[in-house]
Structure 1
Amino acid sequence: MPESRTAPPKTAAEPPESAPTRWVWLAAWPVTAVFVLSNAATPLYVLWQREIGFSRGMLTVIFACYIAGLLGSLLVSGVVSDRLGRRTVLLPALGLALAACAVFATASGVAALIAARLFTGIAVGAVVSAGMAAVTDVAGPHRRRLAALLASCAMVFGAGLGPLLTGVLSETLPAPTVTVFVVEAALLGTAVLAVLRMPVRRPDAPAKGAWLRIPGVPPGSGGQLTLGIAVFAPGITATSFVLSLGPSLLSGLLGTTSRIVAGAMAFTMFLAATGVQFAVRKLPRRTILTAGAVSTTLSMVALVTAVRTASVPVLVAAALLAGAGQGTGQLGGLSLLNSAVPPDRLAEANAALNVGGYVPAGLLPVSAGYLSDAVGLTDGTTVFAVVLAGLAVAGGLVVLATRRRAARSRASGPA
């Protein structure tokens, strides 16, 4: 599908259009490195739960502290990045991610886990706004679709690689909760080097409006943002549930606490999210979003089936469909914003998309965790799946409605 003939205006934030394609890939590496950390702790929660002692409800609270840090970061990181430059946001974020590694490696109580997750969430919030915008800046106006693909895939591939890396390292090497985060700190060190050499410049546009505010988009781009959130939010909520309560489901269905198995399921989920984006990248954006809504809905149907029949293969299918739902929703949303939002507002627009996605991704799994403590994991999961399936269907209907309106507008336009 050809891009719009009118590219968004270029600003001083953008590098020369001749920046080599390899730099577009390298610009995505900090996103991957931070997202490896975002889910690296997932397979270790069962271990911490046994050693420290806390409920499934508290587990989802620890996970939600990450969401709280992320949302707080999104209130300021996008605006600061657009005004002061990508490096100004990315370097402190990477420093905070390194601090999170140190806290995780020495954690001996719930408070330390909460602090580490909070630091991680702040770093991730900066990366999904400034980091993804940096990929678009490096790509230039004629490679915006490639930039959306690489930024989105960097996020989901890192999110999946973290649990797999943790599962393997923690089962095969000594001191699992230390070794994992030493390796991750090394990955973050290479990301710092990439940011320092990244061909982006500080913008020279004057600051306008408040520095701390709910992220938004320029006038005329609200429709694109709404469509992206309508599909991306249910998709990322589905994968958040698998990350937070997936190990508990595996333990109940398989009777296993293997960190490799838990990490492998998360990895395959996000591998599906990565692969599906390459598969659909040339389709129209609204078709991609429709596919995302369908995938998330089918994921919730499979999740209910899995917990009701104690079927591990169906649980894996639910995870794969959840990954596909997040991947396509994320790609469709980022592509719509890249096509409509000028570079000097792009980081804020990315932040707005992620605020819309991560609010339900924080609230619904926490509710499901505490509900599962009260009524059992099977019934709690069923209620969660029914609610999220309803949201996914609603998102799909919104996308279909806009497609019909666009088709009618083209049919009634001048010949």
Structure 2
Amino acid sequence: MVVTAGRRRRDFALLAGILVIVLTGANIPAPLYVVYESVFHFRPDLTTLIFAVYAVGVLMSLLFFGRASDHLGRRPVIGAALALMAASAAVFLAAENVAMLCVARWVSGLAIGLVVAPATAGLSELEPAGNARRAALTATCASMLGLGFGPLLSGILSEYAPAPTRLVYAVYLGLLALAALALLLLPETVTGRERRYVPRIDIRLPAAVRTEFLPAAMGVFSGFFVLGLFVGLIPSFLGNDLHWTSHALGGAVVFLLFGVAAAAELRARELPDRRALGRGLLVLPVGLVVIVLAFAHASLPAFLVGTVLGGTAVGLVFIGGQATVNRIAPAAARAGVTAALFTAAYAGFSVPVVVVGVASVQVGTLRATTGATIGFAVICSIALWVLSRAGRRSSRTG
């Protein structure tokens, strides 16, 4: 069957929209953690546990099912992710204790880990002109907009509408229904699909891509730490350290970070992937330093400046990393290499954020974030060195 250019553009837009909707559910709880603390009467440090459960779900899904869509096809795996997100929203709607919150977050983590690789790979395959860089830009912008829209929506509804911990999930279930209808219209882009897939940890990378993959992975690891910091801890930090208690404003700050990241990706769309990645690695420690200074001086203006710098860095390293993967990954292993990149990303999103959350209870927010800033400055420096070596090696062989 001949596929027209208009049909390809429609399919490309539909898949981008599905990705936005699924990822919207990932960060809906961010402004609600302080509400849950009050409603369910648990200690603030349990927020770190709930966040960690979500991260475990994401990583489990990426590690065991990251390559599933290369075998089973993109549509079935994305459909499974939609079903899991609906189940998660249903549990949130019925939640009456911390255990139910943990179950809901774990299931949503499974869904997010399941959707990112097939959706990103599918966008590369459906891009009307076969432009891998435009596909990467669309995937990263859709991801940032979805991840940022969730907390903005929940912050506004929890501040100004009834049922602050439930209404947003009813709205989200309606969005998921629209995404399911859109999925029915999409073609399958994987040929020679298999009937079954045996889950196993398999994050091996083709030898030819490893040198260039390493700095990309280190970049998204660092960038997603900033995202995890804002999603998991910043709303609580704002109330406890800067005395900014509005749920709507807390959600807006998280959205600001993701919105700036998406804008940075758009501005960097013409940059070579190595240059975008390198600039992001330079800006990221600066943003973290400004955020630390904001906590040290209880300064909201400084915090907002740090948010803009952090969002800029995240956008640059994400578009640089994703464009690198689209450039170097063989077609038959595209979802697998993409899953490896997102495994690095969500490792940064989870492990160091949990460490900072626990440390902040023990030694305070300022000391915990200062230690993290020093550690990530070292990681970014090493990534820049590896990136420079990879660039010189490529220029010699080219």
TM-score under structure 1 normalisation? 0.90
Indicate if the aligned counterparts of 2:212 and 2:387 stay in contact, CA closer than 8 A. no
One-letter amino acid of the counterpart of residue 107, structure 1 = A
Aligned residue in 2 for 1:26: 14
Please tell me the residue identity of whatever aligns with 2:224: I
Residue aligned with 2:130, SS: helix
User: Once the two structures are aligned, what percentage of the paired residues are identical?
Assistant: 32
Q: Partners of 1:268 and 1:220 in 2: how far apart?
A: 38
Q: Hey, what's the Cα distance between the residues in 2 that align with 1:193 and 1:343?
A: 28
1:208-247 equivalences in 2 (<5 Å): 211-247=199-235
1:148 partner letter? A
What amino acid maps onto 2:375 in structure 1? V
**In 2, Cα distance between equivalents of 1:297 and 1:58:** 28
Indicate how the Cα distance of structure 1 residues 93 and 210 shifts in structure 2: closer, same or farther if over 3 A, else same: closer
Greater shift, 147-156 or 129-138, is seen at: 129-138
Contact 2:122 2:189 survives alignment (8 Å):
no
Question: Which of 219, 244, 253 does residue 265 from structure 1 map onto?
Answer: 253
Bigger mean CA offset, 329-338 vs 267-276: 329-338
CA distance in 2: counterparts of 1:393 and 1:311, whole angstroms: 28
The one-letter code sitting in structure 2 at the alignment partner of 1:179 is L
Aligned to 1:166: 154
TM superposition shift of 1:193: 1.3
Question: Deviation string for 1:87-124 (max 9, x for gaps)?
Answer: 11111110110111111122121111111111111110
Q: Match for residue 9 of structure 1?
A: none
Q: 1:183 to 1:208 in 2, by over 3 A?
A: closer
Mean CA deviation greater in 294-303 or 148-157: 294-303
What is the CA-CA distance between 1:69 and the residue it aligns to? Answer: 0.5
- What is aligned with 2:69? 81
Indicate if the aligned counterparts of 1:292 and 1:326 stay in contact, CA closer than 8 A.
yes
Do 1:90 and 1:127's aligned partners in 2 also have CA atoms closer than 8 Å? yes
Name the counterpart of 2:178: 190
Provide the rounded CA distance (Å) in 2 between the counterparts of 1:87 and 1:209. Answer: 14
Q: Given the superposition, is the C-alpha separation of residues 21 and 370 from structure 1 closer, same or farther in structure 2, using an over 3 Å criterion?
A: same
Given the alignment of the two structures, is residue 95 of structure 1 paired with residue 95 of structure 2, yes or no?
A: no
SS at match of 2:290: helix
Structure 2 unmatched ranges of 5 or more: none
Query: For structure 1, which runs of at least 5 residues remain unmatched after alignment?
Result: 1-14, 411-415
Shift of 1:56: 3.8
- CA deviation vs aligned residue, 1:157-193 (integer Å, no higher than 9, x gap): 1001111111111111110111100111111111111
- Letter paired with 1:345: A
Partner in structure 2 of residue 397 of structure 1: 385
Distance 1:252 1:366 in 2: 18
Contact 2:12 2:128 in 1 (8 A): no
Alignment-mate amino acid for residue 188 of structure 1: L
AA aligned opposite 2:85 = A
Asked if the contact 1:285/1:335 (under 8 Å) is kept, the reply is yes
Which residue identity lines up with residue 293 of structure 2 in the other structure?
A: T
Shift of 1:207: 9.3
Alignment-derived partner of residue 286 in structure 1:
274
Matched, 1:179 2:167: yes
Matches within 5 A, 1:310-389: 310-389=298-377
Q: Per-residue deviation at 1:16?
A: 5.0
Post-superposition offset of 1:254: 3.5
Provide the rounded CA distance (Å) in 1 between the counterparts of 2:144 and 2:3. 28
- 1:283-320: CA deviations, max 9, x gaps? 11100001111121111111211111111111122222
Distance 2:171 2:137 in 1: 27
Q: What secondary structure, in the 3-state scheme, does the structure 1 residue paired with 2:11 have?
A: helix
* Distance apart, 1:72 and its partner CA: 0.8
Aligned CA distance change for structure 1 residues 127 and 307 (closer, same or farther; 3 Å): same
Alignment length (residue pairs): 397
Deviation for aligned residue 1:276: 0.5
Contact 2:215 2:384 in 1 (8 A): no
For the Cα contact (< 8 Å) 2:287–2:307, is it kept in 1? yes
Distance 1:265 1:149, change over 3 A: same
Q: SS at 1:27's partner residue?
A: helix
Report the Cα distance in structure 2 between the residues aligned to 1:402 and 1:209, rounded to whole angstroms.
Answer: 35
Distance 2:269 2:221 in 1: 20
- Look up the match of 2:50: 62
Distance 2:365 2:128 in 1: 48
Counterparts of 1:207 and 1:20 in 2: how far apart (Å)?
26
* Cα distance in 2, alignment partners of residues 209 and 92 from structure 1: 14
TM-score by length of 2: 0.94
Of the three residues 96, 104, 117, the one matched with 1:116 is: 104
> Does residue 44 of structure 1 match 2:36?
no
Shift in CA distance, 357/186, structure 1 to aligned 2, threshold 3 Å: same
In the TM superposition, residue 237 of structure 1 has moved relative to its aligned partner by 0.7
Distance 2:196 2:391 in 1: 34
Instruction: For 2:133 and 2:24, locate their aligned partners in 1 and report how far apart those are by CA, in whole Å.
Output: 24
CA distance in 1, matches of 2:370, 2:304: 16
Change beyond 3 A, Cα 1:180–1:326: same
Report the residue type matching 1:344 in the other structure: A
Matched AA of 1:170: S
Deviation at 1:141, TM superposition (A): 6.9
How far apart are the structure 2 equivalents of 1:278 and 1:313? 25
- Which amino acid in structure 1 is aligned with residue 377 of structure 2? A
**Paired letter, 2:311:** G
1:299 aligns with 2:283: no
Structure 1 CA distance for aligned equivalents of residues 213 and 394 of structure 2: 16
Structure 1 pair 409/62, CA: closer, same or farther in 2 (3 Å)? same
Q: Would the alpha carbon gap of residues 34 and 209 (structure 1) be closer, same or farther in structure 2, given more than 3 Å must change?
A: closer
CA distance in 2, matches of 1:395, 1:85: 34
